[in-house]
Amino acid sequence: MTCLLTRRNALALGAAAVLARPALAAVKRPVIVELFTSQGCSSCPPADAYFKALKDQPDVVALSYHVDYWDYLGWRDTLGSPECSQRQYDYAKSRGDKNVYTPQTIINGGGHFVGSQRARVSSGIDVARSETETNWVDMEMTHNNTDISISIPAGKPISEATLWLMAFTPHVSTEIKKGENAGHTVDYFNVVRKMVPAGMWHGEAAKIVLPKGSVVPESCKGWVALLQEGTVGRVIVAVTGGASPNA
């Protein structure tokens, strides 16, 4: 069965359905690590430094998001955006708690940890590595000069899942001149600069085509497609394109 992934902005970007293909054999998924951080947070630099070590692990896909709710402290985060803040709030809503803070690390769209607490984050990653994912599907992504194509084979029926495309800049070094981190230069890695909710999925095989120029800013050299339960929730599958997030 072929299904068009439907969401208004996906349609505006030119999403298209094509004939389905059979599901492929499941493979072990990578661990998805998302760090919510801020240039205006004095507790964040240790987490940002640890994040570099995490993103270098070959079985980890690590993405960082800069929130904007600490901008009032005296320094406007040059990488921050309300969309990143909203994603963090949406995670808290999905979990049913009010735990929104920085630095916050979320693993596989589920458990959250203080991003600078290395032992706890590492333990959370180890637990994620050992989990058996029953909803895994072997999603594939290809690209050319103009388009990004994402193919999702048929999987276990699900009430709703969202396909996200996250475009990231591999490395940004920022001199912070005001606020709690004034006088420091901090290196940030795999910084998400654009998030596109590309469509919805309910278990049917489908393919979506996105115009690369509309979803990947020039500053971004790589991108990650995440299929998540609900709007933001447990990660079902992730695939990468462009520059490797482990580089």
pTM, full prediction: 0.88
Rg from Cα positions in the chain? 18
> What is the rounded distance in angstroms from the CA atom of residue 106 to the CA atom of residue 137?
21
> What is the rounded distance in angstroms from the CA atom of residue 82 to the CA atom of residue 204?
32
Q: Which of 159, 165, 231, 226 is nearest to 198 (CA)?
A: 165
**Residue 124 in tokens:** 């959370």
What 3-state class would DSSP assign to 234?
coil
At residue 132, the pLDDT reads 77
Q: Treating both helix axes as pointing N-terminal to C-terminal, what angle do 44-55 and 118-130 enclose, rounded to 10 degrees? A: 40
At residue 28, the pLDDT reads 63
List, for the chain, all residue ranges whose pLDDT scores fall below the cut of 50.
1-27
At residue 10, the pLDDT reads 41
Q: How far is CA 182 from CA 107, 176, 177, in A?
A: 30, 5, 5
> What is the rounded distance in angstroms from the CA atom of residue 158 to the CA atom of residue 5?
14
> What is the rounded distance in angstroms from the CA atom of residue 105 to the CA atom of residue 83?
17
DSSP strand E in the chain: where?
Answer: 31-37, 60-66, 104-107, 112-114, 140-143, 147-152, 161-176, 184-201, 206-211, 222-229, 235-242
> What is the rounded distance in angstroms from the CA atom of residue 247 to the CA atom of residue 238?
17
pLDDT in tens, 171-221: 999 999 999 999 999 999 999 999 999 999 999 999 999 999 999 999 999
Q: Which of 94, 80, 97 is nearest to 192 (CA)?
A: 80
At residue 6, the pLDDT reads 35
At residue 25, the pLDDT reads 36
DSSP 94-138: HHTS----SSEEEETTS-EEETT-HHHHHHHHHHHHH---TT---
At residue 11, the pLDDT reads 35
